[in-house]
Amino acid sequence: MQYKRILLKLSGEALMGTRQYGIDPERLAEYAQEIKTVIEKGIEVAIVIGGGNIFRGVAGASKGMDRVQADNMGMLATVINGLALQSALENAEVQTRLQTAIEINSVAEPFIRRRAIRHLEKGRVVIFGGGTGNPYFTTDSAAVLRAIEIKADIILKGTRVDGIYTADPEKDKLATKFDFITFEDVLKKGLKVMDTTAFTLSHENELPIIVFDMNTPGNLLKVVTGEKIGTKVNL
Ligand code: UDP
């Protein structure tokens, strides 16, 4: 195995499947199976989940809502997704713990770094909900922050695109994919991997990122075994 401890970032939108909004239970079940194959190989798995399938703070603010209120709603949306993912993983007989950055003690554990690491060592999937717990941040930033805190070997950003391209492959047919790219080249070429705050945090802490297509069955396992799937961003 190439990596011992991974942090998987899933966007909220990924949970929609073919829907326009909310959660597709079939997609969740598929993800749970993918994660199970990796856990069964003895890899430690932490997950940060987004909330964009339910609510985004920026969208609320653009309609006149107070930004902090709207971001709080977004963070709670990630907790809803975390509960859904926890349920899907438990249906697949994978042990999990949900830890939230905003305390909701009757629903999930609070985020406690040492406890999260202990769960991982015991083979439990740890889902981090509630983002960073602060408005004006994204769950990409939460993913990088948690990955650094738990000393993950890598961030795996599961998307619907199979890597980083010279241009948006959904818009430009001539776009070509990178197998490998440095943090500096991402910046120089103005490519979009994560938001700037998240990307800078990853760069400064020398934490590599792999962007890959999470919707192709078997890909997650291929990534952790070191197969050249997606695009790796490294120093
Ligand atoms: N959010 C926040 N602080 C955080 C993480 C998330 O305020 O640390 C809010 C923010 O409003 C964001 C929403 O939660 O729009 C959902 O997160 P994100 O947009 O990152 O989800 P994704 O795009 O991955 O589905």
Query: What pLDDT sits at residue 169?
Result: 85
Query: Which parts of the chain have pLDDT scores under 50?
Result: none
pLDDT of residue 109: 98
Cα-to-centroid distance, 120 and ligand 1 (Å): 24
The pLDDT value recorded for residue 123 is: 98
Q: Which residue owns the Cα nearest ligand 1 atom 6? A: 138
Cα R_g (the chain), whole angstroms: 17
Quote the pLDDT of residue 1. Answer: 82
Ligand 1 atom with the shortest distance to the CA of 10: 24
To test the ligand 1 pocket, which listed residue (31, 71, 85, 194) has its Cβ within 8 A of the most ligand atoms?
71
How do the domains of the chain map onto residue ranges? Answer: 5-234
* CATH of the structural domain 5-234, one choice from 3.40.1160.10, 3.40.50.720, 1.10.1060.10, 2.60.40.1120: 3.40.1160.10
Say how many Å lie between the CA of residue 51 and the centre of ligand 1: 6
Rounded CA separation 6/210 (Å)? 11
Write the residue with the smallest CA distance to atom 21 of ligand 1: 50
Model pTM greater than 0.95?
Answer: yes
Asked whether 56 lines ligand 1 (CB < 6 A), one says yes
Ligand 1 atom closest to Cα of residue 12: 25
Which residue, among 153, 161, 107, 108, has the nearest Cα to 2 in the 3D structure?
A: 153
Contact 234, 207 (CB under 8 A): no
Residue 69: phi and psi, rounded to 5, are: -60, -45
d(CA 47, CA 70): 23
pLDDT at 160: 87
CA distance 71 to 91: 30
Which pLDDT does position 170 carry in this prediction?
A: 84
Q: Whose CA is nearest to atom 23 of ligand 1?
A: 52
Q: Give the atom of ligand 1 at the shortest distance from the alpha carbon of 9.
A: 24
Give the 3-state secondary structure of residue 163: coil
56 is in an annotated binding site: yes
Report whether residue 135 contacts ligand 1, using a CB cutoff of 6 Å: yes
Contacts of 205 (CB under 8 A, 6+ apart): 144, 148
- Asked if 32 contacts 92 with a C-beta cutoff of 8 angstroms, the reply is yes
pLDDT, tens digit (0-9, with 9 covering 90-100), for 20-42: 999 999 999 999 999 999 999 99
Predicted local distance difference test score (pLDDT) of residue 235:
95
